Structure 1
């Protein structure tokens, strides 16, 4: 048996099957305006946006080790930039979403320079403090409604599309596109050389630094890109809601606590984890929402049980038992005579 007899590959049978099924599911979802009701599309649109937020937070915490509890800062910032750019700069809502991403990237640079001086729990607390500064700052801007908030003018809403059904379809497609773009971007980034460096930092930061990896620069790039995309998702969220206020825009429960729950339940440090976690979260929410505060208690209990019994989340359990990788990132060696089942 020679070295040439071994096969080194990134792909697998499971990944190829998942790609085919994913393409079919995506085609079905794109056609949702022709088979789903308005309430169903709004629910799925919300699901896609939470999936995008969870995937971005997972990239930061699960791979870069940047455990932020203040990502609501960029969700709210993106939402307010949507309102400001459409109302005062006269931009089309879709152009304003892109503008919110650019401005989110710019504002994240000084924020990163400041909070990257902190480590561990102090970093997490620092991100929350920054989010509170954002909330208090936007609450003072009277032109955007101050503390009570503001609604998007009817003329701007109609600039997206003249008919309500088309506006809802466009909002749905934007949310779906955001989820697809974020997951694809995370996947491609983790397969790149920068992604390999990021994985090395996650596994052993000291060893990665000794190999010449610029740890600060790699984390900085991840933080800025994640912040920009989070701001764009925030703009999409409040384009759907059509109204914004400081408390809603910078809600730690809605845009950070629930996102952390999704990632922890699904499996942190994996691409598949946020997908599974989002489905579980929405299943629990739609089933238990009528129970009031009991719903939040159930979410807390589920999170605690999962952290104690399955620290790697649902996907971690599945992967350890069946050796599955739907989004293969690393290389695998196939031994001659053995079938690639994963």
Structure 2
């Protein structure tokens, strides 16, 4: 949590400094390290059902952080992220079934394929603004779904399954099974979980590093005022394009990992706007859009609500909708924003604080004294 100093500015010569450190930085760093260590060790202490729940939380968190980077920091409110989830998953499936590729390499290629898809997608949707941008991303996702539903080699509209035991080919599965005396299926779940925790941590770490950099300042400037950002030498289109590609890559990786663990894919499931976009938006909104901590809080709340109300059918969706509306009306910065505003606590401080400067000494007798 090092601080930044304006060494090249005139203000620096008289003692001004810019820092992101706050009074809780050291404590929060230790807390994050402890949670990460507990997460890595979790497969040795919890059952397979709990491990799959943790896998779900981590993958949804990664999707939420990617969407939060788009909407919360770049101002790109997309409702078509399921395009990259599904496309990445289908490319992974194709690599495994049609080419017999190693699953880990197939996951990476799924992410790269999603990023490649985002290039022509950006060409069209970046010509749109506001609600039209959101609708445009959804339309493109539907077009991609309909195209892949015609791919007969992968089951067409009904989908297909990965070869039996393909997850057991993941690097380290046999080693984990041998070292810890677990069945290969359980070892495969453990390796998939560790891949999910690595992906989630890498996404959060990359977002945190970006937001603390000069590029992060440029991103915030573009979000707040495009013309003002352009006037100081920032190219808004280039910044947004880079973020859009990065979000597509991470989303594609996550989709590929999810459907490797599921071992079955279909167009309707892989391109579900509810599962991969609506729920993600809900997570970010209730947690706190424009903060790294917000999606973490949001995904925990979402998981709890899902387990409490999932048996009530459509009432479950109504509860989520009412909660989302209430948060937007009474706590527009989300649950984390409300908490941080009252406590000043930041686990990932990115706000820059100006401090120091020359001290002003008063003299006796007033201005003429």
1:133-212 equivalent positions in 2, closer than 5 A:
133-160=143-170, 161=173, 163-212=184-233
| Per-residue deviation, 1:210 | 1.3
What is the number of equivalent residue pairs in this alignment?
335
Alignment of 1:219-298 (within 5 A): 219-298=240-319
Displacement after TM superposition at 1:322 (Å)? 2.0
CA distance, structure 2, for counterparts of residue 157 and residue 7 of structure 1: 51
Distance apart, 1:8 and its partner CA: 3.8
CA distance in 1, matches of 2:335, 2:128: 31
Q: In structure 1, what is the equivalent of residue 82 of structure 2?
A: 72
Q: Is the 8 A contact 2:75 2:223 kept in 1?
A: yes
2:366 corresponds to: none
Aligned equivalents of 2:252, 2:84: Cα separation in 1: 5
In 2, the alpha carbon distance for the partners of 1:109 and 1:292 equals: 38
Partner residue, 2:330? 309
**In the alignment, structure 1 residue 332 sits paired with structure 2 residue 342:** no
Q: TM-score, normalised on structure 1?
A: 0.94
Q: Could you report, residue by residue, the CA deviation over 1:249-298 in whole angstroms, capped at 9, with x for unpaired residues?
A: 00000000000000000111111111111111111111111222211111
SS at match of 2:106: helix
In structure 2, the residue matched to 1:99 is: 109
The structure that has the greater radius of gyration is 2
Q: CA deviation at 1:316?
A: 1.4
Tell me, in whole angstroms, the C-alpha distance in 2 between the residues paired with 1:250 and 1:87. Answer: 20
SS in 2 for 1:147: helix
Q: Does 1:61 align with 2:71?
A: yes
Worse overlay, 100-109 or 127-136? 100-109
- What whole-Å deviation, never above 9, does each CA across 1:283-322 have from its counterpart, x for those lacking one? 1111111222211111011001111111111111122222
When the two chains are superposed, the root-mean-square deviation of aligned CA atoms in Å is: 1.6
Paired with 1:51 and 1:241, the residues of 2 have a C-alpha distance of 17
> What is the alpha-carbon distance in structure 2 between the residues aligned to residue 5 and residue 191 of structure 1?
21
Change (3 A) 1:334 1:70: same
Q: Who is 1:321 aligned against?
A: 342
List alignment gaps of at least 5 residues for structure 1: 337-342
Structure with the greater relative contact order (CA < 8 A, sep ≥ 6): 1 or 2? 1
- Measure how far apart 1:156 and its partner are: 2.5
**Change over 3 Å in CA distance of 1:5–1:192 after alignment to 2:** closer
Structure 2 gap segments, 5+ residues each? 1-11, 175-183, 358-369
What is the CA-CA distance between 1:114 and the residue it aligns to? 1.3
Give the structure 1 partner of residue 139 of structure 2.
Answer: 129
